[in-house]
Amino acid sequence: MINGQATGESCRPGRIEVVCGSMFSGKTEELIRRMRRAKFARQRVEIFKPALDTRYSDVDVVSHDKQSIQCTPIDSSSSILLLSSGIEVVGIDEAQFFDDRLPEVCNELANRGIRVIVAGLDMDFMGRPFGPMPALCAIADDVTKVHAICVRCGNLAYVSHRLVDNDKRVLLGETNEYEPLCRECYHKEMEARNAAER
C-alpha cells in the first residue's frame, strides 16, 4: 500500500494502452497476451475487431503466428460502447480500420474505469499515419511500438511495404501482399520504383 491506497493491476484506474507498429511486428500477439493475462486474473474482458477483417476467422482475432482469441466483430466504434457493459478490460484489434470516433470511444471507456488495449498499424503502406491511430497514440496512457525485422537487411522494420500493384489504402493481406522494410530499404525500393516508372 502507498499512502493508505492499494496498488496493483486490479486497483489501477481506467487507461488506454496502444500497441502499434508495422505488419508482422507482433501487435496482435501482444494484444492477445495482455487479454489472456486479464482473463487469468478473472477480469471480465471483451475483444473487438472490424467486421471487414475476415483473413483468418470471422469470430476470432488471429495473429500471423496463428494465436487466437474469441472476439466480437463490429462495423463501427460506437458499437464498442454498447457492448462493453460490465466489462473491465476491452481489447481492440486492427484499430486503423475503425472510424475517427474510436479515440473518443476509448477515452469514454477509460473515464469509466475500463482498461482499453488497442493494437493497430501506425502507418499505411505509403508511410502515412493510418486512420485513428495517431490520435489514439496521443491520448494513450502508454504506447508500445513493436518492430518487425526488415526482410532485406535484418534491421528493425519501419513500414509495411505493399508488394502488389494496388493503390487502395485498405487492402487486407499477408506475406504475399506485404513485407516489412526498414526506412533505408523502403526508400531504396521507392526510388527504384519511381525510376522504373519514368
Residues in the chain: 198
- Reading the block at residue 130, the C-alpha cell is 493510418
DSSP assignment of 143-197 equals EEE---B-TTTSSBP-EEEE-SS---S-----TTTEEEE-HHHHHHHHHHHHHHH
Catalytic positions are 94
In DSSP terms, 144 is beta-bridged to 19
Decide: 22 and 160 in contact? Cβ < 8 Å.
yes
DSSP strand pairing (159-162 vs 72-74): unpaired
- Reading the block at residue 141, the C-alpha cell is 496512457
CA atoms within 13 A on the CB side of 179: 14
- C-alpha R_g of the chain: 18
N- to C-terminal Cα separation, the chain: 67
Alpha carbon distances (Å) from 146 to 4, 23, 132, 158, 176? 36, 10, 18, 10, 21
> Which amino acid, one-letter code, is at 141?
D
